[in-house]
Structure 1
């Protein structure tokens, strides 16, 4: 009879409200027992509807917390999944005890990912003892489905202390990028030793959500800030910061390209220096080469200086062109950069030859010519007539860098004499 009554009743029913509000009412215990144990969907829906009432009886909310049967929990969690309305949140806040909180694994393991996430959100909205809630969060973060772990990662931000910190450090290794991103946003404020080096490991993450979170949590290491303070940093701090910014801010090359095109010669000069320090010369090489036509000889001089760190064929061709610059200092800098590139290529070729010798089969008497190949259009060869001299040959370049440098230097000596 009572179950039949509950199937047709609504939360606002006067009789039902009177029964639930009076613990001494003759029908109180029987009605509450039905609300606690009935497997009937209609009774479960009635109980859940109390969550949306402005002032539900305490007995109804207590019954909500005491039910731990999976069928009811699924029904409830699907209803509140994804968002908790203001009224529902206020009623959840009145719940001080959840029956399954003492053994969260049994319930969490029986739920799917979305339900796990809703369970964590529900627990966080209640007044259940925080230590008990933390244990449920910890279990879900370590053992839940991806959606459950994501909700647990969000909830973890509300907990502090060594256990929470250890859990956050562990969650950095989660294989779900959203979990990683959520934890990345938390760990710096936790003061976990050595966390910065761990965070930097995420700079090369293939997941945009992870890299975005990293940039946000390490927001001081961004290109704009580094560029603005570049002249104020000493060399050691500048080098360290440059390395961090390059790893963290994946917009660096793009933003550097804009600075290289600045109408201000001062900013163009600084952009060239920043490119060199950040090791981004090769990534913006063409933009740098274009500045060889700059009207400011100081800019052109800085261009030929930084091109030495990018020993590509394009850079060499640009430096050969700069040997004809109208400014003496630019021409001298171009010579120096060409010689530096020659040395870099010679060292690379020597290292490559050493590697080939080590890996070569004992039966092999010679190293194939292409085994010592360094670049597609630039090779370092030893002349048969001079085993100690190394010449730099440039594919498509005539004359060679060595010849041009030697010829230009000799011409200058003759003119000085």
Structure 2
């Protein structure tokens, strides 16, 4: 495993349950630190990168096309030599910008130069059918399944030229075959649409209201992608007989419910896909329902393992790290009612994301009562979990009368970019050191 990052798992929980208690919560922190201390870093992993640029007619306005070209050329410039890559133009149907023909080529001084020249010649015309763009990316990645596969997708509008069914089918086809970071430029695209795309493809999504910010954002995405060292990592959960995994949620850096992605991998195990990893850390909130035990009984409620399945660049399955979620029944009320600080924070951040999205949707549909109640609740939660960025964005949508009670008034005139930014960033969480003991099990 010398060519993979060094992974550790830490588990935060209150492992005590009251007599008859069934539900155990835990926060699992996974950290990848690259090579072990004092050793040279792993060799650069084989990677494949596709840049998909919306070239529909609306991109010709507000300097979006020119900014997209600059951003794409900057991204190409920081691709590592030897990485396979392509640039795709998206409209009613996708087309290859570089190279000619449906294939990827390796990055070199020559191909980098030729690709940037091809990007310079892009123009804007046609409509938007994002599912077809993703299907082309999937075809291009088909010969590179053993590499770290990443796509950047930029759009400025709604997916108007194909049905929701067609987009959903494309996402189902592409899920698990590559990671895609999606960006919306301007204010005419659909937040829910990009959220769905990024969620299905285990990527991020963000708003870029000002086209001038695209270059910086593309550079950040590409550099992050070039820093990935291992693809297709899964979180494998073992649970005892009679137990049920209620949910598995990624909580940092973004809130993402992974529960529905469960893939059985053994008699009492299931895998949850986590995508590609570099030097980084992420946190996951688990909830497991177990059969209640007698007071004083101790048990393992779940065994979390980080696994690279066998095949491709890792021929034999490798367990990178593991950690225990424990349970012990007690009649000591002080022990069983204590809420672990990190579990409490993540519960609040998950509820915060839901409250914002539900409140903004109610506002869009004219349901002011629900909008006021949900956005007021979001104000309370943002203050409670210490998410100052979200609190500031909420101030642009509501007038806060009282933070503690969540008493707010909806603003009459809200800038669309501010509303989209709040919606988009509702799932981006903050890291906090508040409360909670931290326990580490086998690594």
**Which is richer in strand?**
2
Tell which has more relative contact order, 1 or 2 (C-alpha 8 A, sep 6+). Answer: 2
**Which is richer in helix?**
1
Give the TM-score normalised by the residue count of structure 2.
0.23
